[in-house]
């Protein structure tokens, strides 16, 4: 019989697994770097590390590497984990590759080109083009000149023909290319000493902690295969085929979920007392069971709008509201909208941390 767990148990488990209650740590022992830390917006990957206790001012530039990986978004990893991290995020199958590149698969199929073959073809061209740091637009233009019609589409916003976006992004890792941090538009450059293998798929020698299915269960569990598939944009059957043998069942409100056996004792540890200002794309907010995190439709709409996501105020494992930064020169105002109780002192303390992280002065925390 599976163990019954409560919503509070699950949220407390995730908070602790993601080390959001931690006062200090290093990149070497920060668990979210195993699955990759999304770097979107000014309060992206480094802020996610900072609120997990990492002194980001002491992180050496070569300690981390930024790649286009899960869902085509930029994610930060430990450089020491390459190339295993690159192998871990590779499509599980040709069908998986097709799901991840979305509408690009239709013309490829019509031309008799497999999805993995297409990614390797694009990667080979990118590897040949990018020998030095190169802006994305220039890489795209040079790729367009080289690639055949099935790889290209007419883009109405750009009023130009260029490569489909997702094959472009997902092929970059296969090409051995990383993203320069802080560049907009993105700048791609070769990963020093990294020799990509054409056609590579997830390798058996990938360390268990970097396995994306295991990492999701460890950091965002208990979960179902459907949750993991949704996070990866992968077919459900591919995730099920890679389901860990040591995953154990638990019951949440009558639904069967799984987590790693080694993590079972971490459930039911009681409330986790901490306040954090989560960035808009923090891993805690990336779980594919949003209804568990927030069951109020209006609050969910406020936290996950179509455009312009705010950050989230995390209080003792619960999302207590949203926050938005307002910068004017070297001054910062943090606007907070609460829908649950939160300590003003604790929120202001986290706002001060944010200002220090950005290297500017906090002038006001406006709480509503």
User: Where residue 326 falls among pLDDT bands split at 50, 70, 90?
Assistant: very high
What is the mean pLDDT of the segment spanning 283-288? Answer: 98
Question: CA dist 44 to 37, 40, 62, 189, 333, Å?
Answer: 8, 5, 18, 21, 18
Q: Strand, helix or coil at 192?
A: coil
What is the rounded CA–CA span in Å between residue 137 and residue 34?
A: 30
What is the rounded CA–CA span in Å between residue 115 and residue 128?
A: 20
Least confident of 146-150, 155-159, 160-164, 315-319: 155-159
Beta bridge partners of 259: 248
Radius of gyration over alpha carbons of the chain, in Å?
21
What is the rounded CA–CA span in Å between residue 287 and residue 227?
A: 7
* Antiparallel, parallel or unpaired: β 275-278 and 311-315: antiparallel
Contact at 8 Å (CB) between 326 and 304?
no
| pLDDT attached to residue 209 | 95
Question: CA dist 199 to 5, 117, 202, Å?
Answer: 42, 7, 10
Contacts of 142 (CB under 8 A, 6+ apart): 129
Question: CA dist 84 to 40, 78, 103, 115, 208, Å?
Answer: 23, 11, 28, 22, 10
User: Where residue 316 falls among pLDDT bands split at 50, 70, 90?
Assistant: very high
pLDDT > 80? residue 125: yes
What is the rounded CA–CA span in Å between residue 82 and residue 54?
A: 21
Two structure tokens written together for 81: 């984990």
Two structure tokens written together for 346: 């604790």
State the chain's mean pLDDT as an integer. Answer: 93
User: Where residue 20 falls among pLDDT bands split at 50, 70, 90?
Assistant: very high
pLDDT > 60? residue 139: yes
pLDDT in tens, 213-260: 999 999 999 999 999 999 999 999 999 999 999 999 999 999 999 999
Contacts of 228 (CB under 8 A, 6+ apart): 212, 213, 216, 217, 234, 239, 288
pLDDT > 70? residue 56: yes
What is the rounded CA–CA span in Å between residue 106 and residue 212?
A: 27
pTM, rounded to two decimals:
0.95
pLDDT > 90? residue 195: no
Contact at 8 Å (CB) between 260 and 244?
yes
pLDDT > 80? residue 283: yes
């Amino acid at each position: 019989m599976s163990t019954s767990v409560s919503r509070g148990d699950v949220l407390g488990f995730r908070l602790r697994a993601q080390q959001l209650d931690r006062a200090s740590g290093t990149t070497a022992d920060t668990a979210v770097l195993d699955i990759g830390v999304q770097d979107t917006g000014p309060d992206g990957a480094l802020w996610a590390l900072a609120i997990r206790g990492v002194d980001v001012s002491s992180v050496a530039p070569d300690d981390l590497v930024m790649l286009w990986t899960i869902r085509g978004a930029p994610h930060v990893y430990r450089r020491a984990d390459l190339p295993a991290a690159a192998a871990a995020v590779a499509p599980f199958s040709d069908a998986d590759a097709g799901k991840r590149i979305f509408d690009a698969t239709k013309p490829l199929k019509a031309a008799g080109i497999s999805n993995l073959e297409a990614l390797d073809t694009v990667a080979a061209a990118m590897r040949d083009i990018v020998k030095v740091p190169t802006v994305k637009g220039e890489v795209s233009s040079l790729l367009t000149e080289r690639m055949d019609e099935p790889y290209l589409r007419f883009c109405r916003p750009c009023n130009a023909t260029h490569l489909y976006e997702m094959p472009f992004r997902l092929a970059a890792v296969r090409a051995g290319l990383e993203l320069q941090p802080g560049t907009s538009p993105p700048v791609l450059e070769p990963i020093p000493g990294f020799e990509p293998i054409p056609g590579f798929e997830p390798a058996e020698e990938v360390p268990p902690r970097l396995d994306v299915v295991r990492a999701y269960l460890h950091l965002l569990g208990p979960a179902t295969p459907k949750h993991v598939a949704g996070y990866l944009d992968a077919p459900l059957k591919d995730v099920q085929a890679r389901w860990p043998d040591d995953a154990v069942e638990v019951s949440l409100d009558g639904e069967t979920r799984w987590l790693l056996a080694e993590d079972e004792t971490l459930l039911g540890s009681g409330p986790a007392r901490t306040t954090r200002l989560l960035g808009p794309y923090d891993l805690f907010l990336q779980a594919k069971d949003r209804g568990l995190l927030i069951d109020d439709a209006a609050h969910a709409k406020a936290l996950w709008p179509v455009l312009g996501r705010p950050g989230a105020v995390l209080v003792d494992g619960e999302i207590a509201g949203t926050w938005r930064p307002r910068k004017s020169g070297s001054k910062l105002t943090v606007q907070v909208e609460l829908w649950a109780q939160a300590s003003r002192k604790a929120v202001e303390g986290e706002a001060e941390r944010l200002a220090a992280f950005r290297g500017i002065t906090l002038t006001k925390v406006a709480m509503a």
